[in-house]
Amino acid sequence: DQQVKQNSPSLSVQEGRISILNCDYTNSMFDYFLWYKKYPAEGPTFLISISSIKDKNEDGRFTVFLNKSAKHLSLHIVPSQPGDSAVYFCAASEYGGATNKLIFGTGTLLAVQP
């Protein structure tokens, strides 16, 4: 039972354009959400997070949107750069982020074309 779903295995975007990565969840108890980026042969690195009390969080080129009623979140990267090419994982926590038990999606491979 996949509680966090990333339905697009891959996404290709032109440099300078917007990248939109999507994530859906089924567990209504999730109240803290995160995005991680992963390069090959490296561990995931934290990008941005959002609490369920907010609907948007912004950090530089990265913005995460949360739609609780639709159980959907998205990561916007503007403008996209070739160095953003990586696998992006969406993750969720039930405990307000008080622990490190995260439920991850299966990832979306982003390719930013120069």
Other C-beta atoms closer than 10 Å to the C-beta of 33 total 25
Q: Is 49 among the residues that bind other proteins (CB under 8 A)?
A: yes
Tokens of 96: 């307000």
Tell which one of 12, 81, 106, 113 touches other proteins (CB under 8 A).
106
Q: Is 57 among the residues that bind other proteins (CB under 8 A)?
A: no
Residues 14-33 that bind other proteins (CB under 8 A): 32
Tell which one of 46, 54, 59, 82 touches other proteins (CB under 8 A).
46
Tokens of 8: 């697009």
Q: Nearest to residue 24, comparing CAs of 65, 74, 61, 97?
A: 74
Q: Which helix (H) or strand (E) holds 24?
A: strand 19-25
Tell which one of 23, 34, 66, 75 touches other proteins (CB under 8 A).
34
Tokens 């509680």 locate to: 3
Which stretch, 52-60, 61-69, 72-80, 99-107, contacts other proteins (CB under 8 A)? Answer: 99-107
Other C-beta atoms closer than 10 Å to the C-beta of 23 total 26
Q: Which residues of this chain interact with other proteins, rule CB under 8 A?
A: 32, 34, 36, 41-46, 49, 51, 89, 91, 93, 95-107
